[in-house]
Structure 1
């Protein structure tokens, strides 16, 4: 097969992003299985051999794109979030298809762009649910942001309803998207996890190398990642364990506290935390994976405090390393973490239970280590690149064949 994969940026070294991590993993697996893979990103086509070709629409592709845009405007399809970007993405995919026709293309549902891509080429376009906007919990938005949100959800709904095949990493995401976006559950779909590479030489967490008081949280400082839940939960934890310390890693994008207002880490800490609590917290900002690794190895527990997630790589990376972990119980979390066995789940946006879960891990190092090992074993059995990658290839083959992909 010649498989097309769309990525927000490429190569992966340009920055951290869950979709990029996913594309990088499956691309390598597909190539290893003998398939040709092209990555479409930022107006370039990256071939299996790593070469890059600019994707300026040309010839018949430019004419067809122009005609398609006129029809789209007549049908008012230009409405929705970032429609001009969506049209440009479709043009890039059409230009790539001209260079070397695809058998199948996979891209995310964001902003409904996959619908435009599906109209741009004859090959099937699989819509991969990386984070449907309609499933995310309410947050503090201005009236203009609310309008944009509604437009984005409407555009995504059209794309999800019309897609020949939809895949999702969890059953919770699939069911929620079908319900919210009006896709018939009987339509062709497949629940396939996000994969992670497991290498024999990957550093492993060990109880001997961990600081019994050290807690690590990796994720953006923002509303979705539950930065406030983590900080206020840590404040609760210090009442139980005065010697605990927290390291936070991730870019500071500001925490929404009311419409149009975001507080930085320093602003939130100054407003909500005592100097004593603040002194036990180290905020490192954005770090490279190689810089995060020693922090994970030294922490007694890794925390995912998000209000909502899809199938986050930061969780998979902690599991693959065998790190004990606590995660908030966003929809689908229990399909990844077996509560009490491969980690602990805590209610979303509730600091006190998060602190109690951390106290349980820190207070029982042997049990924490056993959970970390169980998490790594689960990764190997359910989420390894070999297991998941072959499921995706099987889905693609069924999509190309008349029978389609089985639910």
Structure 2
């Protein structure tokens, strides 16, 4: 039992983009789902405040954001200051939902993302502490090249920095993001902690047979930050050296900006490959959480090619099932996996290094099985929902006591 639960159970609300999140490929929605489960199993009361409901559920305390109701004054403010109005309007939707959560369920503390600086607007209007979780501050997207370095980005970063100075506590899934956010923006002297996102390891891991190691999986958007272009290039090299290799690309095609203008789509990238390589690639688009889990069971090797990650949910999901993983050594991923112990780590932007590492796993099944087993044990010991829930409960209890 945690120190927080020894005092008394927490009554906490989590804000999430979707609930229960089973149809929404979103790291925040997944993390909240697992964390809520861990806290409830420990005897705490969890209320969910959801931007939208994406599937039927049986959770007893769920509040959806209220429908947008534009008054005449709202329409006027939207014309005068579209950007600022939008931030305040969404913040007010959260405020209404949080006030309902307090009134109906006695919520004592709210946990939500830092996005757009909503947390600051909200904290000024609610009676309970608000904790911001750094799921992806805007400076990170700009630094990684997935957001423009323009005036709109500067305004958003300023809003998020101001918002963080008004909260009662701050958590981050990785030490690197907490440290860099402190260095860039400065943070208030409030409780702060690194609390990774939880991920349950399924009861049964995958059996890394020699045949299964011929099948390579990538789960992520085809965009700049997830490195979908890198894995396509890497598989072209893998296919040339390993005739039995097959590749499945899971995720939406959001495109990458071309140097000369326009957008490069996954379909364009695949069309440029030689037909013998292209015929060994399946692009299956966006998949539900259950569908991704089924695909993981049919693939022995997972590639994670992110140019940057705050945490690395795709990496840890692959490790949890015992996949043999090749991952870029960036951001929070460096805090999850260890080279030669739980994965093979490669530099970002290096398709050839990724291909060589993948081929090494295919040609050395004993290595692949050793890494997969160690990865699965590491996740079970360090990222299980009950383990992370204890850390979060202790932290929120310290915020509640302030």
- TM tier, shorter chain? 0.7 to 0.9
Quick check: 2:22–2:290 contact (8 Å CA) kept in 1?
no
Equivalent in 143, 148, 165 of residue 161 of structure 1: 165
User: How big is each residue's C-alpha offset from its partner over 1:250-303, in whole Å with a ceiling of 9 and x where there is no partner?
Assistant: 122222335973222112222x43333322211111223333334322323111
Quick check: 1:97–1:121 contact (8 Å CA) kept in 2?
no
For 1:394 and 1:12, how far apart are their aligned partners in 2?
25
Give the secondary-structure state (helix, strand or coil) at the position aligned to 2:257.
strand
Matching residue of 1:11: 20
Matching residue of 2:185: 181
For 1:358 and 1:243, how far apart are their aligned partners in 2?
13
Name which structure has the greater RCO, CA cutoff 8 Å, separation 6+. 2
For 1:255 and 1:93, how far apart are their aligned partners in 2?
38
Matching residue of 1:231: 232
Q: CA 1:263–1:80 in structure 2 vs 1: closer, same or farther (change >3 Å)?
A: farther
For 2:214 and 2:251, how far apart are their aligned partners in 1?
21
Give the TM-score taking structure 2 as reference length.
0.86
Is 2:153 the partner of 1:152? no
Matching residue of 1:378: 378
Aligned CA RMSD, in angstroms, stands at: 3.0
Query: How many aligned positions are there?
Result: 382
Is 2:64 the partner of 1:97? no
User: How big is each residue's C-alpha offset from its partner over 1:338-389, in whole Å with a ceiling of 9 and x where there is no partner?
Assistant: 1110001111122111111112211211111100000011111111111111
Where structure 1 has 5 or more consecutive residues not aligned to the other structure, the ranges are 403-407
Where structure 2 has 5 or more consecutive residues not aligned to the other structure, the ranges are 1-9
User: How big is each residue's C-alpha offset from its partner over 1:307-338, in whole Å with a ceiling of 9 and x where there is no partner?
Assistant: 12122332222111111101111112121001
For 2:261 and 2:157, how far apart are their aligned partners in 1?
20
Equivalent in 39, 64, 67 of residue 30 of structure 1: 39
Runs of 4+ more than 6 Å apart: none
Give the TM-score taking structure 1 as reference length.
0.85
Matching residue of 1:405: none
Q: CA 1:193–1:177 in structure 2 vs 1: closer, same or farther (change >3 Å)?
A: same
Q: CA 1:383–1:53 in structure 2 vs 1: closer, same or farther (change >3 Å)?
A: closer
Quick check: 2:215–2:298 contact (8 Å CA) kept in 1?
yes
Quick check: 2:46–2:61 contact (8 Å CA) kept in 1?
no
CA deviation after TM superposition for structure 1 residue 15, in Å: 1.9
Q: Equivalent residues in 2 for 1:132-151 (5 A)? A: 132-136=137-141, 137-139=143-145, 146-151=150-155
Quick check: 1:80–1:154 contact (8 Å CA) kept in 2?
no
Is 2:60 the partner of 1:50? yes
For 2:85 and 2:209, how far apart are their aligned partners in 1?
53
For 1:229 and 1:21, how far apart are their aligned partners in 2?
25
For 1:140 and 1:260, how far apart are their aligned partners in 2?
16
Give the secondary-structure state (helix, strand or coil) at the position aligned to 2:12.
strand
Q: CA 1:42–1:135 in structure 2 vs 1: closer, same or farther (change >3 Å)?
A: closer
CA deviation after TM superposition for structure 1 residue 82, in Å: 4.0
For 1:191 and 1:396, how far apart are their aligned partners in 2?
13
Equivalent in 197, 201, 209 of residue 198 of structure 1: 201
Give the secondary-structure state (helix, strand or coil) at the position aligned to 1:298.
coil
User: How big is each residue's C-alpha offset from its partner over 1:200-254, in whole Å with a ceiling of 9 and x where there is no partner?
Assistant: xx33111237423211111112111101111111122233324322111112222
CA deviation after TM superposition for structure 1 residue 122, in Å: 1.8
